[in-house]
């Protein structure tokens, strides 16, 4: 575990959050998968709103880069590198964080990953690896934070799912895991309500994030065309996902629990029965001052 102190000479984070300044002042929020993409964006917004952020992932260098960015912007971030799929590592990391901070106020269960493949080409090991990354690891983080902090003090959890409402052809392992997380969210919302713990999830659709650059071949070629299947005729931004997550963690969502919020521009509703002309009427929100357009979208 290591931390990056704020740069006293730098102005506070320039992240242009839609939420009020200082919303999470004095709180500690945990972001898994915080080294890149949506997780990095969420960590920046939470820090900009006053939280101390614990960044978790398997690649320590990436986490330290994000922590350094947050410190440069005037925020506070700590690095706790471990594999959320390893139960003993999760238990130990949570114990250390609770011992250091006294309590953890919120968890953003963002970590995950998958690879494109039809079901017939997915082996048992590959299937189980994706399930562990997108479901089992998130469960372990939820359970341990509940047992070691949230049960006694209350708090909020936001899990990560995906646009899997019509199945996920080509990524069936991820779709199964994400559907499981949506159901797990509902169960935890009921079981942990008496402890003052709210549990929700977000389901991003096609988001212009660094993860898009990890895909190759036909999938990469398809990415620039995805917006044609979204009624809003564009991809989402990391900031639009982060804004929803931070709201769900906030007191403004105090009567919201057990829901999965879709952030997908209406993509599941797209139908050839009602063609929508190309348009530019949907303005994107991008409050993240460090956001970068994925290379694959620059090729469009």
pLDDT at 281 over 50: yes
The reported pLDDT for the residue numbered 10 is 45
Structure tokens at 161: 């799912």
**pLDDT recorded at residue 3:** 58
Q: Where are the beta strands (DSSP E) in 113-251?
A: 155-160, 197-204, 207-208, 236-237
Q: Is residue 260 pLDDT above 70, yes or no?
A: yes
In this predicted structure, the answer to whether residue 169 has a pLDDT above a threshold of 50 is: yes
Given a cut of 80, whether residue 287 has pLDDT beyond it is yes
Task: Flag whether pLDDT at 98 surpasses 50.
Answer: yes
- Kindly indicate the confidence band of residue 4, based on its pLDDT and cuts at 50, 70 and 90: low
Rounded to whole angstroms, the Cα distance separating 69 from 48 reads: 11
Residue 1's pLDDT is 61
What values do phi and psi take at 80, rounded to 5? -135, 90
Number of domains in the chain: 1
Domain extent for 149 = 2-298
What is the per-residue pLDDT for 114?
85
- The H-or-E segment that residue 41 falls in is helix 37-48
pLDDT 10s digits, 9-26: 444 448 999 999 999 999
- CATH number of residue 257's parent domain: 3.40.50.720
Kindly tell me if the per-residue pLDDT of 300 is higher than 70: no
CB atoms within 10 A of CB 221: 12
pLDDT at 86 over 80: yes
pLDDT per residue as tens digits for the range 174-229 = 999 999 999 999 999 999 999 999 999 999 999 998 888 888 888 888 889 999 99
Q: Which residue has the tokens 């880069």?
A: 65
Share above pLDDT 70 across residues of the chain, in percent, rounded to a whole number: 95
pLDDT at 2: 59
pLDDT at residue 84 greater than cutoff 50: yes
- 158: its two tokens: 């936001």
Nearest Cα residue to 141 out of 170, 178, 113, 181: 181
Summary mean pLDDT of the chain: 93
pLDDT for 36-64, tens place per residue?
Answer: 999 999 999 999 999 999 999 999 999 99
Model pTM greater than 0.85?
A: yes
């Amino acid at each position: 575990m290591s931390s990056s102190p704020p740069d006293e000479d730098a102005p506070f984070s320039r992240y242009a959050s839609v939420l009020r300044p200082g919303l999470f002042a004095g709180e500690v929020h945990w972001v898994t998968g915080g080294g890149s993409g949506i997780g990095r964006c969420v960590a920046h917004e939470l820090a900009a709103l006053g939280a101390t952020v614990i960044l978790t992932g398997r690649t320590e260098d990436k986490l330290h880069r994000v922590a350094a960015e947050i410190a440069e912007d005037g925020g506070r971030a700590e690095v706790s590198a471990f594999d959320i799929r390893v139960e003993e590592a999760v238990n130990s990391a949570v114990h250390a964080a609770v011992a250091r901070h006294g309590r953890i106020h919120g968890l953003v269960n963002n970590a995950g990953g998958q690879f494109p493949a039809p079901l017939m080409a997915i082996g048992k090991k590959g299937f189980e690896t994706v399930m562990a990354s997108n479901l089992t690891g998130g469960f372990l983080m939820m359970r341990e934070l509940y047992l070691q902090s949230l049960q006694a003090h209350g708090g909020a959890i936001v899990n990560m799912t995906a646009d899997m409402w019509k199945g996920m052809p080509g990524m069936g392992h991820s779709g199964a895991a994400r559907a499981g997380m949506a159901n797990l969210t509902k169960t935890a919302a009921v079981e942990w309500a008496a402890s003052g713990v709210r549990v929700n999830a977000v389901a991003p659709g096609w988001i212009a994030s660094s993860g898009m650059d990890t895909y190759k071949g036909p999938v990469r070629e398809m990415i620039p065309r995805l917006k044609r299947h979204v009624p809003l005729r564009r991809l989402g931004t990391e900031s639009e996902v982060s804004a929803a997550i931070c709201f769900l963690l906030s007191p403004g969502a105090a009567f919201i629990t057990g829901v999965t919020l879709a952030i997908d521009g209406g993509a599941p509703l797209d139908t050839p029965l009602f063609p929508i002309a190309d348009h530019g009427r949907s303005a994107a929100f991008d409050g993240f001052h460090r956001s970068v357009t994925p290379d694959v979208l620059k090729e469009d």
